[in-house]
Structure 1
Amino acid sequence: MIDLYYWPTPNGWKISIALEEMGLDYRVVPVNIQKGEQFEPDFLKISPNNRMPAIVDQNPADGGAPISVFETGAILLYLADKTGQFIPADIRGRNEVIEWLMWQMGGLGPMLGQNGHFKFYAPEQIPYAQNRYSTEALRLYDVLDRRLDGRDYICGEYSIADMACWPWILTYKKQEIDLAEFPNIRAWYDRCKARPALRRGYEVGRDLSKPTGKWSDEARQNLMAQRVPRQS
């Protein structure tokens, strides 16, 4: 059994999708990020970066004590290695998947997150920031569209790289991006969406949060970057 510390966001969906695709037993432990539950001491022991998702594997491969893993890239690699699924065994194929996983972690996710933030959630309109992140979002879409030319999936076969990228491309309407400009992404997006396990993973926790497009003052404070008070 794997405990999934989770809230339904693009980063959370990466892991719920992976768990469904890999057929692993898991239990959802909600972490309401709008209420600040990501700062609770017990959660920080699992995810010291005060971000969800995180997992605790109650039955690790070595038969020892439970293993906790934070950061979605690390979690996806851990689960792929645990199950022997969705990452190639050969060194070249494995390296390729890891490259694109890191591309998502370091580029696609953070840049789309900033694009959405400055468009919809920043307390003041900053045209420079909006233009900077909108341009970078489109650049990354260009990169992915070129990569998918002639490929069904990012690394040929469906992998954890696709699981990492799809939940962020899912936000294309919110990001005000026209997928008609990116035909390879459009075809890949629909191909992934047709996978039953991916759809199940996307539906996990749907009843936990109903997006409104607006943040309460409490949610805004909890979702903005802040330092965690040191424990005495």
Structure 2
Amino acid sequence: MTNAEHIRRAPRHVAIIMDGNGRWATMRGRPRLFGHHAGAKRVREIVEACPDQGVKYLTIFGFSTENWKRTQIEVAGLMSLFRRYIQKEARALKANNVRVRFIGDRPGLDIKLQNLMDELEEVTKDCDGTNLTIALNYGGRDEVARATRRLAEDVAAGRLSPDDVDEETLPHYLDTHVLPDPDLVIRTSGEARISNFLLWQSAYAEYEFIDTLWPDFTPAVFAEVLRSYASRDRRYGGVKA
């Protein structure tokens, strides 16, 4: 397959479960937060690699609704890392024409982080290059539950008829309502589970589970995964003629 054909067949939207930061650090005798900082640096490289790979949308799983179960020290360190990442990367993201959005239960995060998220979305809203979506305090079941609650409120208020509720209706209430569904979901670190990530949106996504730990997920590894995707035959439940 030529490079041009590879780009033509590239997934429009890639979602990544960035797993393995803690193990990467532990293998090096360092605290888990050291791995999270290394993983944050890797995010920039993958975002910058997207245009050359033909990827228009990138969604990354930063912090799940279940991650609150981790130690208080690790959670506090992650929240500090998110704040620092936004402050440090805002200028580069805008300069690289990256549009940033956040999904998840935003009110569950501290107000300073919420404000930084709002500011980054505002400052990049006119960028029309790569679309980067960061899932913070996000859980697929929580998202569907929140969407269903808003839908039910519209039905109760008479703004929506129950007869009009179908599988085309609910997506308009999801956090990702302005995004196309992911074509490819990648999970690093050798774990073969989806961990409550984009449950509705990934109904027809291709999955790639790889052993590479996230801090070792280089643009070269990314390109190899995309080449593998390009060779797949996506039929969406149909039969190839």
Q: Do both share a fold (TM > 0.5)? A: no
Higher helix share: 1
- Structure with the higher fraction of residues in strand conformation: 2
What TM-score do you get using the length of structure 1 for normalisation? 0.30
